[in-house]
C-alpha cells in the first residue's frame, strides 16, 4: 500500500485518495479546439517512466485536490 502525504492532513493510506491524472497537461479552450484536438486531449496519454507530476484528490479526508510528483517506475513520491 502507498502512503500519500496530503499537504493538508499529513500521510494517509492510498485508499483515501483518488488519482486525478496527468498534471502536466492543460485543458484546451473550448472555443478554439477542434474535434481531433479534443479527442487527443481526452483519450491519448503518454506512459512516462520516472518522475511524473500527477493530480490527487483526498476523497476520504479534506476533499482537496493537489499535485504530487511520483516516480512511475518505483511508485515512490519524490519532492
pLDDT of 62 above 90 = yes
pLDDT per residue as tens digits for the range 9-59: 999 999 999 999 999 988 999 888 999 999 999 999 888 899 999 999 999
* pTM, full prediction: 0.84
The CATH number that domain 3-78 falls under is 3.30.2270.10
Alpha helix locations (H) across 7-56? 35-43
Selection from 21, 1, 25, 23 nearest residue 13 by Cα: 1
Looking at residue 2, what is its pLDDT?
85
Asked if residues 39 and 31 have their Cβ atoms less than 8 Å apart, the reply is no
Asked if residues 25 and 41 have their Cβ atoms less than 8 Å apart, the reply is yes
Quote the longest CA-to-CA distance of the chain. Answer: 42
Amino acid at each position: 500500500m502507498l502512503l500519500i502525504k496530503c499537504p493538508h492532513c499529513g500521510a494517509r493510506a492510498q485508499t483515501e485518495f483518488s488519482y486525478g491524472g496527468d498534471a502536466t497537461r492543460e485543458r484546451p479552450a473550448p472555443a478554439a479546439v477542434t474535434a481531433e484536438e479534443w479527442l487527443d486531449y481526452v483519450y491519448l496519454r503518454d506512459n512516462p517512466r520516472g518522475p511524473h507530476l500527477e493530480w490527487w484528490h483526498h476523497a476520504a479526508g479534506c476533499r482537496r485536490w493537489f499535485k504530487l510528483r511520483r516516480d512511475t517506475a518505483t511508485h515512490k513520491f519524490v519532492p
